[in-house]
Amino acid sequence: MKILNRVLAFSLGLSIFTTSVYADPLDFGVFGGITEGRKLPKTTEQLLNTNKNTKNELKSTYKEIIFLTGQPKEYNGNITVNSKATNLQDKGTYKVSYKVENGDTTPQGMTIARNMEYTVNYRQEENQTIKDYEVSKWTETITIDGKTYTIDNKESKSSISIIEDKTPGVTYYKGDVSHRAVYTSGEEKITQDISGVIYGYNSAWSSTETQRLNCTISSKDWQMEYQVRPSVSVNKTIEYSKNEPTAISFEGNYKEVMQNKSGLSYNIYVLPPQFTYTTPTSGNVSIPSFNTFEQLVAPDVSYLKGHFAEEDIKKMFSMQILTGDPKFYKPNQAITRGQFTEMIVKSIKLPIEDNTKANNKKAPVDIVFSDVLPERQEYPYIMAAYKAGLIAGETSGKFGIDDPIERQEAIVILLRALGLEHLGLDPTPITPFVDDSYIASWAKREVYAANRIGIIAGDADGKFNPKSFISKAEAAAITNRLINYMRYDMQVDYTENIVNFAD
């Protein structure tokens, strides 16, 4: 009989923060502007370990709406973000700088020169990191129609606090931001107060950050209140392209499309009386997406024609989550715990250690499970899953690498990869499946959550069949749903549910 300890539990003592940070929150600035976002690495870049995004630097087109004159003015320029957050330990300090400057498309008569540097104090508690941003340097001048506004460093303040939660497959974060920017222009003083919330996440298949900022601008003679909702999303989608020539060795193949979607909307609630009839009270600004592509391998799975998982299996081989000769893949065979773990680790792009040291007899090799030895293909993936807190073994000290995996075990691993098991109700929920009473108590939350987010559904009889072994075909279908959820569905929750609804 399977037990909870065999499935998995987060290992709170593991060091999972010692690798370089992929990107700091607030990648598109701190004043409600938008950038193109960082492109996600291509599959080949990841396989060759040549991903350029590990430099912690972003250079991008930048757009922002400026309200200092009492009317919304669209600014187009460039931004450079540099973060020195590498090799983080349990606690410490690093620097993040933002430089906004003019570009080729900057509107005539409008300029921004903004340099901000933050000292980030951070501490890590298990799988969470708290980051507090305090501005240490701030110089800024804005020119609009010949009038220049200069930041008053003594009266201006900026403070941001972020909490990050690192799960095996996704890093989630939220935070609060507060700015008081005091500008002078001759004898005139203008104060801009900004406060709001930040939500975001980073994963191998998509990343999104959305801000909702409530703003007030006041001077001696007028006041304005408005809300800005910027959002930047990047993701990797997959498209199938059938070849046009008849005399070609393969029918077609999938390609991955790396794309971005950046936009901001604003709503003005209180207008200066002198602008009531001439100023739009709402608007939108976006940055056009520039897509990049990567061709994926074209596996021959013609023998699966008509199989319910034909497309799922084809995608798994195309993305190299499954490897080897597809002709030897037996879709109706039960998948083992080791094979399923390898698929999930590859699908969430969990980093694995170089296994070459395992072939060096002088180098120490980690043996956590007595049946998971370095010569096994699954070894580096099972070790990566273990170190990330994704899996645990049996009480006997084995992993059960060659044992078939139950449906309920597979779903628990999948939900823990997303870090969304809390979506299951507590105490133990009742799932909508007619065989709910057969679902183990330790799996109910995850099964409930997986159904809630649409990754699993009942069969024709409304059953989940928790103790049934899943086939390789079903594993491909489940893994594909996991990837699709990370590609598309997560972004909806971070954009439509925040950007499209004002407070």
- 379-415 per-position pLDDT tens digit: 999 999 999 988 887 767 899 999 999 999 999 999 9
How large is the angle between the packed helices 379-387 and 337-347, nearest 10 degrees?
70
How large is the angle between the packed helices 407-418 and 337-347, nearest 10 degrees?
20
How large is the angle between the packed helices 472-484 and 310-318, nearest 10 degrees?
70
225 and 353 part of one domain: no
Domain membership of residue 17 (yes or no) is no
275 and 387 part of one domain: no
> Which amino acid, 85?
A
Number of structural domains the chain divides into: 2
Domain membership of residue 215 (yes or no) is yes
Reading the block at residue 487, the tokens are 């590609």
- Calculate mean pLDDT across residues 107-111: 94
* Confidence bin at 429 (pLDDT 50/70/90): confident
375 and 428 part of one domain: yes
Strand partners, 35: 62
**Res 461 pLDDT > 80:** yes
312 and 269 part of one domain: no
The structure tokens 């299951």 sit at 424
271 and 319 part of one domain: no
271 and 308 part of one domain: no
Give every CB contact of residue 111 below 8 A, 6+ residues apart in sequence: 102, 141, 142, 143
**Res 159 pLDDT > 90:** yes
CA distance 419 to 92: 26
Which residue, among 321, 414, 344, 328, has the nearest Cα to 47 in the 3D structure? 321
**Res 471 pLDDT > 70:** yes
Write the DSSP symbol of residue 275.
G
Domain range for 331 is: 4-10+298-487
CA distance 142 to 156: 15
The predicted structure's pLDDT at residue 29: 76
CA distance 153 to 169: 41
The predicted structure's pLDDT at residue 183: 97
- 203-258 per-position pLDDT tens digit: 999 999 999 999 999 999 899 999 999 999 999 999 999 998 988 999 999 999 99
**Res 484 pLDDT > 80:** yes
Q: What is the 3-state secondary structure (H, E, C) of 445-482?
A: HHHHHHHHCCCCCCCCCCCCCCCCECEHHHHHHHHHHH
- 318-362 per-position pLDDT tens digit: 999 999 999 999 999 999 999 999 999 999 999 887 655 545 555
Question: How far apart, in Å, are the Cα atoms of 295 and each of 44, 241, 258, 292, 305?
Answer: 10, 10, 11, 10, 23
CA distance 426 to 313: 35
* Confidence bin at 450 (pLDDT 50/70/90): very high
Question: How far apart, in Å, are the Cα atoms of 234 and each of 219, 238, 250, 439, 487?
Answer: 38, 13, 31, 37, 9
- 50 backbone dihedrals φ, ψ, rounded to 5°: -115, 25
The predicted structure's pLDDT at residue 81: 92
**Res 492 pLDDT > 90:** no
CA distance 474 to 485: 16
> Which amino acid, 178?
S
**Res 262 pLDDT > 50:** yes
Which residue, among 145, 138, 199, 207, has the nearest Cα to 170 in the 3D structure? 207
Domain membership of residue 495 (yes or no) is no
Contact 150, 183 (CB under 8 A): yes
For the chain, give the mean pLDDT: 87
- Calculate mean pLDDT across residues 143-160: 95
Position with higher pLDDT, 278 vs 310: 310
Domain membership of residue 500 (yes or no) is no
**Res 423 pLDDT > 90:** no
Contact 29, 58 (CB under 8 A): no
Domain membership of residue 247 (yes or no) is no
- Calculate mean pLDDT across residues 417-443: 89
CA distance 256 to 113: 37
190 and 339 part of one domain: no
Contact 473, 480 (CB under 8 A): no
The predicted structure's pLDDT at residue 172: 94
- Calculate mean pLDDT across residues 304-319: 96
Domain membership of residue 244 (yes or no) is no
The predicted structure's pLDDT at residue 17: 30
Predicted TM-score of the model (pTM)? 0.89
Q: What is the 3-state secondary structure (H, E, C) of 72-119?
A: CEEEEEEEEEEECCCCCCCEEEEEEEEEEEECCCCCCCEEEEEEEEEE
Question: How far apart, in Å, are the Cα atoms of 256 and each of 52, 68, 172, 253?
Answer: 18, 42, 24, 10
127 and 180 part of one domain: yes
Give every CB contact of residue 70 below 8 A, 6+ residues apart in sequence: 217, 222, 224, 271, 272, 274, 275, 279
CA distance 73 to 65: 5
**Res 5 pLDDT > 90:** no
223-242 and 252-270 strand pairing: antiparallel
The predicted structure's pLDDT at residue 24: 67
Write the DSSP symbol of residue 430.
P
**Res 154 pLDDT > 80:** yes
* Confidence bin at 61 (pLDDT 50/70/90): very high
- 113-134 per-position pLDDT tens digit: 999 999 999 999 988 999 999 9
Contact 475, 410 (CB under 8 A): yes
Note the Cα 424 to chain centre separation in Å.
21
Domain membership of residue 21 (yes or no) is no
* Confidence bin at 1 (pLDDT 50/70/90): very low
315 and 220 part of one domain: no
CA distance 285 to 352: 40
The predicted structure's pLDDT at residue 15: 28
273 and 374 part of one domain: no
What is the three-class DSSP state of 358?
Answer: helix
Question: How far apart, in Å, are the Cα atoms of 16 and each of 12, 213, 379, 496?
Answer: 10, 32, 19, 31
384 and 277 part of one domain: no
Concatenating the DSSP letter of every residue in 281-330 gives: SEEEEEE----EEEE------GGGTT-TTHHHHHHHHHTTSS-S-GGG--
Note the Cα 396 to chain centre separation in Å.
37
Domain membership of residue 499 (yes or no) is no
368 and 404 part of one domain: yes
CA distance 238 to 256: 4
The predicted structure's pLDDT at residue 4: 34
Strand partners, 125: 128
The predicted structure's pLDDT at residue 369: 92
- 17-54 per-position pLDDT tens digit: 333 334 567 777 788 999 998 888 888 887 776 655 45
CA distance 53 to 34: 18
